[in-house]
Amino acid sequence: METAALIVVLVIVLALFFDFTNGFHDTANAMATPIATGALKPKVAVLLAAVLNLVGAFLSTEVSKTISHGIIREESIASDVFPSIIFAGLIGAITWNMFTWLLGLPSSSSHALFGGLIGATFVGVGLLAIDFGVVMSKVILPALIAPLTAGIIAFTVTKLAYAMTRRYDNKPDGRSGFRWGQIFTSSLVALAHGTNDAQKTMGVITLALITVGWQNAEHADPQLWVIIACAVTIAVGTYSGGWRIIRTLGKGLTSVKPAQGFAAETSTAATILSSSALGFALSTTQVASGSVIGSGLGRRGSKVRWGTVGRIFVGWVLTLPAAGAVGAIAAWIVVALPGWGILIDFVLAVVIVTAIFVRSRRHEVNSSNAMSDVAESGTAVKVKRNPPPTRRQRQILREEARVKAEIERQVAKAAAKERALAKEQARHAAELEHAAQRAQHKKDRARTKPNGATRPEPGAPGDGAPSHTRRDEEDAR
């Protein structure tokens, strides 16, 4: 019994550490977009998210029941084996969480946990101990439907936001008022995250307590101290930042504008809160990523890099089996080496986590440089510097072009008239000059004899007319 109690204590410690990694791994879901748009300062954003995660953890326990009374058939597993299986599953979840955090990849902490538990149970007990009906209905299907639904909602809200604010199309900062809305919606997402993700660790601890008889199996609700411990731990993890994931969702996935951020966070909060009420243990990371991509598609001028989105999607697909594989290896060590297996797993987990942490210090990402460059996962949505005009802008441009064309036509018409008038005046002047030249020519011809001699002036001597002297001589005769 003492060994079982020690194993349960180790399970609780490991579960709380997973809760801590879940906190900093998923901080970006709520606060990446408001940090990217400047709605909130980085430190203020993570503090607000931590407080609201803490509050949200007390609002619902439906997801916790899914974990403690759903995926694993605890009645088919011996009580002395089950805590070791849970321990191995947590190692798989933590290892995948730390690895994807190092890469800045927004993977699912929830699916890492489910995969680790399923893989460990499969190796340690067998397939019959896994309720695949619950896995399909409350894990697989929500993982497929929730991101798509969130993306469609975000796309629609983004379209509506830009349609309602068309008067700001020519003003680059005209939609900055959405930053105030982002504060509210991002807070709602943080609250919703607490109602969903904090419950998963509560379910794991409750499951461990039930297996050793420390809690009645008829009561699925987690005990108060479990709720408090998980709420505080996820809040501390959230406050630590998880800046690598924030960098990817806030800047690596899309160039977020205030209206887009508002739409994405509204969609994320609505989807998570609805799922928490129904007991669906979905991935808040997948929902947030789907919302950001949907908001990017909803903004005119955005272009989706489907190749990069595909790589992120592959990460989502690999999370469940990869965490399951690590959990299965850890469970095999426990089964193969009774007693010592737990210690070996624990040491290996400490070595892996320490190695990943040391590796992350080489290229540290913190609140001061999280938004300074693009994450290694690449840019999934690229917004053009000069996006095509909106419908209203096209109408304005057409009207301006019509007025400009009319002015140019009037100017051309006036210039043509001036050219015609100048041509007419030139022609009239040429005619006058030609007439003057002809008159002068006639006058010159009249003065000239046919043989070329010049005629004397009338009355001049030799002009053929009698002079006064001749007349006088004739009269005298």
Question: What is the rounded CA–CA span in Å between residue 364 and residue 357?
Answer: 10
268 occurs within a structural domain:
yes
User: Within this chain, do residues 319 and 400 fall inside the same structural domain, yes or no?
Assistant: no
**Is 371 in the same domain as 393?**
no
Q: What is the rounded average pLDDT for all residues in the chain?
A: 77
Does 326 lie in the same domain as 393?
A: no
In a domain, 294, yes or no: yes
Percentage, residues of the chain above pLDDT 90: 6
Residue-number span of the structural domain to which 400 is assigned: 389-444
The two structure tokens encoding residue 398: 């057409």
420 and 336 together in one domain: no
Q: Which range, of 163-177, 243-257, 290-304, 321-335, averages the lowest pLDDT?
A: 163-177
137: amino acid identity, one letter: S
Residue 326 belongs to what H/E stretch? helix 306-336
* Residue 464 domain flag: no
Are residue 379 and residue 394 in the same domain, yes or no?
A: no
Which of 383, 400, 426 terminates a domain? The answer is 383
* Integer Cα distance of 274 and 82 in angstroms: 32
Same domain, 414 and 289: no
Whether 179 and 32 map to the same domain: the answer is yes
Number of domains in the chain: 2
| Same-domain check for residues 157 and 266 | yes
Q: Are residues 346 and 418 both part of a single domain? A: no
pLDDT tens readout for residues 20-77: 988 888 777 778 778 877 778 888 888 888 888 888 888 766 666 656 556 777 677 7
Instruction: Write out pLDDT tens, residues 6-33.
Output: 888 888 998 899 889 888 887 777 787 7
Both 132 and 211 in one domain: the answer is yes
Residue 40 domain flag: yes
> Do 402 and 435 share a domain, yes or no?
yes
Query: Is 472 part of a structural domain of the chain?
Result: no
239 exposure class (CB count in 10 Å sphere: 0-12, 13-18, 19+)? buried
Measure the CA–CA gap between 205 and 419, rounded to whole angstroms: 95
pTM, two decimals, is: 0.68
